[in-house]
Structure 1
Amino acid sequence: MDFAYDARTVELRERLTAFLTECVYPAEPVHAEQVAATGDPWARPAVLDELKAEARARGLWNLFLPDPRYGAGLTNLQYAPLAELTGRSPHLAPEALNCAAPDTGNMELLAEFGSEAQRDRWLKPLLDGEIRSAFCMTEPEVASSDATNIATRITRDGDSYVINGRKWWSSGAMDPRCEIFIVMGKTDPTADRHRQQSMILVPRDTPGVTVRRGMTVFGYSDAAHGGHAEIDFTDVRVPAEHLVGAEGTGFAIAQARLGPGRIHHCMRLIGMAERALELLCQRALARVAFGRPLAEQGVVREWIAEARVRIEQARLLVLKTAWLMDTVGNKGAHTEIQAIKIATPAMAEWVIDKAIQAHGGAGVSQDTPLAALWAQTRTLRLADGPDEVHKASLAKRELRRWA
C-alpha cells in the first residue's frame, strides 16, 4: 500500500486549498448572514451560487465520480485527501464543488443503475448543478436500521407504479431546487426479505407527494445536505419506466450506494476533526486562565496530543479502505468500510468535543463552527446505519473466520 499523493492529487489539493482560503472561509459568515436575512433556514443564498461558479471555473467540480464520463475520473485514493479538505467547511465546500450528499450518492446510483432516459432526464442536470435530489428510505414507523423493515408500497398498475407510504429524514428534500426523489419501497412483500424492495424515481411535483415538515438536526437545518423532510406519498402514480433497475433490486442498489457514501463521509470527518484541532490549538495559545495560557495546562496538552494520534489513526484506516475499494472493489473492502464507519465519527466527535471544552461558552455558540461540526458528526453515528449495526455485522464476519 502506497498512500503518497500522485502529481494530480498534489495539484488538485493545492488548487482546492487556495479555493478554501480565498473563497470558502471568507464566505462562511456571509452565508450565515444571508440565510438569516431570508428567514428560511433552508434558503439557498446568493453566495453559494457564487462559490459554485468559482469552483467550476477553477476546475474543482464533480471530483467524487470515478467514471470520467461523468466526473473527474479520480480513484477513491485520489479523492480522499480532497474530500478531507472539503470537510473543513462541510456546510459550504462540498456543495460548492457539487460533491455534497445526498446528490453524490444519487448521481452514483443513476450513473450505475439508471436507464439512458433516466440519466438524460435527471443525472445530467444534477451533474451540472442545476437541480438537487433527495433520497427517501428511512421511515418513522419502523426501525430503519434494518432496511428490510420498510413499509412503503410500490404497486404495479398497468404501465404505472403507485406509491403509498411515509418517509422521514429524506435528505435533500427541503432544498428549494430539489426536483427528484429516489424512493425505496416494497414491490413484493412475499419475496425473499432482501428481494422485496425496489427503487423508483418520483418527481417532486407529482400529485400525492406532500412534504409535511423539515427535520432539524440538533436544531440545525443541515441545509448543506438539502435539509431532511418528512414526506407523505399518497396514491402517487409515476410511469413504470421510472423504476430504477429491476423489481426486487432495491436493497442491493441501496447497499451499492451506501459504500461510497460512507467513505465520503469519513473522508470529510477527518477534515472536520483537523479544523477542530486547529481551533483548539489557537484557543490554547491565546486564552489565559488561572494566570497562564491554556496551552500550559497539562490536560489541554493531553487533548491536543491525543487528538493528533486519533486523527492520524483514522486517516490511515480511511486511506487503506480507499485503496482496497480501488483494487478489490467495494465488496472486498466491506470489513474496512464498516470499520471506518464505526471509528471515524467517534474520533471526530471526541476531537470536536475537546475543542468545544477549550472554548467554553464560545464553543457551543454560533461564534465558532464547532457546535455545528459536533452536531453533524454526532448524527453520522446514526446515518448510513448506526454504530451497533456495523459492529454486529463486523463481529459476525470476524467470527466466521474461526467457526
Structure 2
Amino acid sequence: MIARSILCLAVLVIASPVFAKPQESQTFKGNSGAFSTPGEALDRVQGDHSDEIPIVVAQGEMDKLIDCKGGGACPISAALIASQGVRVMAGLPVDSQPHRTALRVFQDKPELLLGRISNDRMVILLAYLCEDLDETPVVISTVSAPNSPHAALGPKWSETDGPDLTTSPGELKILAYTVTTADGTVRGRHFVLLKTYEGGRLNFIDPGKPLKKRMFDLEYRGVPSATKRQLFFQVPNGLDKSSQTYELNTIFSIRLLVNDPNATSDSESRVETMKINIDNLAERLRASDELTSPIAWRREGAVFGLPGVDLPASVDGGGYSVAESLELFRHAGRINLNLRDVVGGAHGRPLAQASTQIAGEVLNKLVTGEAYVAVSITEPLAGSNPKEMQSKAVRYEGGFKLTGRKLWNARLRQATHIVLYTQAANGKEGEFSAFLIPIDHPGLKIVDRYAHGLTGNSFGGLEFDDMFVSQDHLIGKDGEGWKIFTRHFQYWRLMQAAAAIGCGEAALDQLADRLKTRNAFGGPIGRFSHLQQPLGEYTTKLRMALALAREAAKLLDDGNYKAATSLIDGLKAEGVEIALSACDTAMRAHGAMGYSRDVDLGDRVRDLMGLRIADGTTDVMRMSVVKNVYGSELWIMAVYGMPRNEETETEIEAGAPVTSEVSNDE
C-alpha cells in the first residue's frame, strides 16, 4: 500500500502544473461582509479557475489514484471543490494550490485511496478540509433517505415532507445519489455540489466536469402515506439516453456560523459536531458488532474527545457545561441506552477534585480513552439505605486495610479502576470514604451476576478482606465520601434521565413511522385514533421532562445544587417512567415484530427497566422529592414507621444523610 500510495501521489504531482509555479491566493468577499450564497460562491470558483490558476481539482485528475475496485475520486473532488466554495462564502482567500492539498489529504488519510467512502469518512474529510477557515466555525451534518443503506443511524428526511434542498447564504450542500443501470446493477454513488434549487430544478457542479453547467429535475416516489420517501433525479428534456436511475440517498451540509463571542452558536456548534461524530462512530461500531461496548467507544471516541467532554480543560478535557453534556447524553440515549456510559468521564469525574498522583494519572487515561471507572457502593444488605453499609476501612501503616462485600455493581469486567465506598476509618457513624483502586489490585475479587438488560456492561460484585491500599488511593479526606458521592450523583442522575428521554424519543419516531407504513384491515393503522393518542401523550410528556432537565442543568452550571436536587430526583423517577411507557407503547404497536430482534424496541424496554432501578429507584426518588419539597416529616414516617420524635431525631442525626439515597451502582 505504501509503494502504491507513493506512485499514485507522483501521478498527481505531474498532473498539477500548480506545483511548478505557486500562485497568490485569490480573495473573495461576501456581500456587505455577510456570507454569500452557495450559488454565488460556486459560480466564482468556476469563473476564476484557469490553466494558470487551477483552483478546481476535477475528478478525472485523481481517478487513477483510487483502487480500481473502489470506483472513482468523485467524493474527494467534490469535497475539495466544496472547501473552495465554503472559503468564498466566508469571504476568505481560496486555496491557490488545491492539488497540493489533495496530495496532503491522501498522505494523511490513505484509506481514501480505497474509494467508495462512507458517510462518516466523507464528514471527516469535509471537517479536515474546513480546519483552515481563520477560526470561522462550521457545522457539518448529514440527512439521508429513509431507505438509505449508507446511514443505519443518523437523521433521515421526512417521508411526507422530503429533504430540504433549499439554498441559503453560508450553507453549502453536497448531494450523494446512487447510480443504477437498467438491469438493476448498482454502479455506486456520485457526489455533486448544489448551487440553486428553483421550480423543481437543481443546478449543480459535477466533479466529473466541474466547469460545465448541470441540471436535474426531481421526481418523488412513495406510497400514499409516505409520498416523498424516495427522490430520483432526471436529466431535463430526455437528454440522458443511458436508462440509468439516479436516486438521492444523502445530503451533506456545511454551514458557516457567525463567530460572535457574545452568541451561543459556538456552544451549539461543538455540541452538534460531537453528535455527528457520535453518529458516525455508532455506525462503525454497529458494523463491527461493538455498538454497546464501552471499551470500544472510549478507545475510538478519544479521537474526537468523547471520553473527556465533561472533564475540565485543566486535565485536557472538553470542559463542556452541564447543559451541553445533557444534550449529548440525550443523543446517545436515542441510539442505544447502553451509550449512557460512553459520554464523558462517567464515574471518573470525581477524580478531578482529587490531588493525588494516582488520580491524575487515571484522569489523563480517561481523556485518552485508556481508562474506564466503575463505582461500587451497594452491598448484599445495603441498597437504598447506605447507612447499612458494612464495608469498612481501617488505618494501617500509612494506608488502609479494606474489608467487605459489594453486590449489584455494573462495569466491573470492563473497568480499569473502581471508586470503592466504605465506612470511614475515623469510626464516626454515618461517615464514608471513597477509594480509587485498580480493578486488578491484589486482594480484590470480582463476583459475577447477570442482568436482563444494559448488557453492554457486566454485572456483579466485589469481595475484599484486609486489602491494603496506600493513602494515595483515598479520594479527598477520610469521611468525605458522602460529599463526593452526592455531588457527583446529582450530575449523574440528570444525565441518566437525559439518556432515558432520548431513548423514549427515538422509540416514538419508530412508532410514528409504524402508524404511517403498517397496513391492516384495509389501510394504515395510523387511522385508528387510539394508536395516535399515546404518540401525542408521550411526545408532550417527554418534552416537559426535557424542559425540566434543561432547567436543572442550568442550576448545576450556576452551582445551585440544592435547588436542583428535587428537580433531578423527580426527573430520574418520572423521566425514566415516561420513556419506559413510550417504548412499551411503540413495541406493542409493532405487534410480533416489536418483540423480535428486527427492531430494538424490546431492548429499549428491557434497558429502561434496569435504569428505573439503577442510580436511585423510582419510589425512593419520589420520596426524596417529597422530603425536599415538603420537609422531612413524611420521609421519617416512611422510613421509621412513626412520626418525628426524639428517638428518630437521634437516629437521623447519627446516620447518613437521606437527601440522595442510592440503589444499585449502575
- Shorter-chain TM-score range: 0.7 to 0.9
SS of the residue corresponding to residue 447 of structure 2 reads strand
Query: What residue number does 2:399 align with?
Result: 160
Q: Distance in 1 between matches of 2:447 and 2:338?
A: 26
Q: Is residue 283 of structure 1 aligned with residue 514 of structure 2?
A: yes
Structure 2: runs of 5+ lacking an equivalent: 1-262, 635-666
Task: Report the Cα distance in structure 1 between the residues aligned to 2:313 and 2:560, rounded to whole angstroms.
Answer: 14
Q: What per-residue deviation string (whole Å, max 9, x for no partner) do you get for residues 338-375 of structure 1?
A: 12112110111111111111112222222222222222
Pair 1:187-2:427 in alignment: no
| Equivalent position of 1:243 in the other structure | 474
Q: CA deviation at 1:20?
A: 4.5
Q: RMSD of the TM alignment (CA)?
A: 2.7
Moved more, 254-263 or 164-173: 164-173
Q: Percent identity?
A: 23
Give distance in 2, aligned partners of 1:20 and 1:119: 27
Aligned to 1:39: none
- Which is worse superposed, 256-265 or 393-402? 393-402
Quick one: which amino acid aligns to residue 412 of structure 2?
A: A
Q: CA deviation at 1:318?
A: 0.3
- Secondary structure of the residue aligned to 2:394 is strand
Contact 1:174/1:214, CA 8 A, preserved across alignment: no
2:435 to 191, 200, 214: 200
> How many residue pairs align between the two structures?
372
SS at match of 1:237: strand
Q: What does 1:82-121 correspond to in 2, within 5 Å?
A: 82-90=328-336, 93=339, 98-99=342-343, 103-105=345-347, 107-112=348-353, 114-121=354-361
Q: Secondary structure at the match of 2:619?
A: helix
Distance across 1 between alignment mates of 2:523 and 2:621 = 44
Q: After superposition, what is the alpha-carbon deviation per residue over 1:219-259, rounded to whole angstroms, capped at 9, x for unaligned?
A: x4622xx3222221122111122111111111121111101
Q: Which moved more, 1:346-355 or 1:83-92?
A: 83-92
Do residues 319 (structure 1) and 563 (structure 2) align? no
Partner residue in 2 for 1:125: 365
Of 144, 147, 159, 2:386 maps to 147
1:280 CA displacement: 0.9
Structure with max Cα Rg = 2
Cα distance, 1:65 vs structure 2: 2.8
Amino acid across the alignment from 1:376 = D
> Within 1, Cα distance between the matches of 2:318 and 2:294?
29
Distance 1:87 1:43 in 2: 14
2 CA distance for matches of 1:300 and 1:66? 46
The residue type paired with residue 108 of structure 1 is R
Amino acid in structure 1 at the alignment position of 2:264: D
Q: Counterpart in 1 of 2:663?
A: none
Partner AA of 2:428 in structure 1: A
Match of 1:333 in 2: 564
Amino acid in the other structure paired with 2:603: A
Cα distance in 1 for residues equivalent to 2:427 and 2:375: 25
Is the alpha carbon distance of 1:67 and 1:374 closer, same or farther for their aligned partners in structure 2, counting shifts above 3 Å? farther
Cα deviation, residue 58, structure 1: 4.2
Deviation of 1:123 after TM superposition, in Å, equals: 1.5
- Which residue of 2 is the match for residue 361 of structure 1? 592
Rounded Cα–Cα distance in structure 2 between residues aligned with 1:167 and 1:377? 23
Q: Secondary structure at the match of 1:88?
A: helix
The equivalent of 1:227 in structure 2 is 458
- Give the secondary structure class of the aligned counterpart of 1:144: coil
- The equivalent of 1:379 in structure 2 is 610
Structure 1 Cα separation of the partners of residues 514 and 284 of structure 2:
20
* Aligned-partner residue type, residue 99 of structure 1: V
User: In structure 2, what residue type is equivalent to 1:104?
Assistant: A
Q: Which amino acid aligns with 1:275?
A: A
Contact 1:25 1:89 in 2 (8 A): no
Q: Could you say what secondary structure the match of 1:247 adopts?
A: coil
Structure 2 letter corresponding to 1:6: T
CA–CA distance in structure 2, aligned partners of residues 382 and 43 of structure 1: 21
Cα distance 1:336–1:111, how it changes in 2: closer, same or farther (>3 A)? same
Q: Which has the higher contact order (CA 8 A, sep 6+)?
A: 1
Indicate the SS of the match to 2:552: helix
Cα distance in structure 1, aligned partners of 2:562 and 2:316: 23
Q: Is the 8 A contact 2:395 2:425 kept in 1?
A: no
Q: What TM-score results when the alignment is normalised by the length of structure 1?
A: 0.84
Write the deviation string for residues 189-221 of structure 1: whole angstroms up to 9, x where unpaired: 85242x2x11112222222211121432x2x46
Q: Comparing both structures, which one devotes a greater share of its residues to helix?
A: 1
Q: Is there any run of 5+ residues in structure 1 with no aligned partner, and where?
A: 36-41
Write the distance in 2 (CA, Å) between the matches of 1:91 and 1:397.
29
Contact 2:330 2:502 (C-alpha < 8 Å) held by counterparts: yes
